[in-house]
Amino acid sequence: MNNNKVLEKKDWEYYLFEEENNIKLSVPIPKPTPGFDIIYTLDEYEKENYLRKGIIALKDRIEDMNVNFSNYEMNSWR
């Protein structure tokens, strides 16, 4: 996420950033140890919905990422 444009964030809840014309959602989770950033690239529908409605449009996605984190890309904090 270092070289990417941060669009929106709520520390320790979610981060939205733009990377090569894609919008990615990152959700930090402390468990399993050592903690992970769960990453998801929004599809076109989600991207357009987010741009129209804001973060509320991604509420269900964020909840799913917290519960079903193993279904997503996981970057370890180590």
Predicted pLDDT of residue 72: 98
pLDDT in tens, 34-72: 999 999 999 999 999 999 999 999 999 999 999 999 999
Per-residue confidence (pLDDT) for residue 2, from 0 to 100: 56
Mean pLDDT of 11-34: 95
Strand order in the sheet with 36-41: 5-10, 14-19, 22-29, 36-41, 73-76
More confident: 25 or 20: 25
Q: Which whole number is the average pLDDT over 30-36?
A: 92
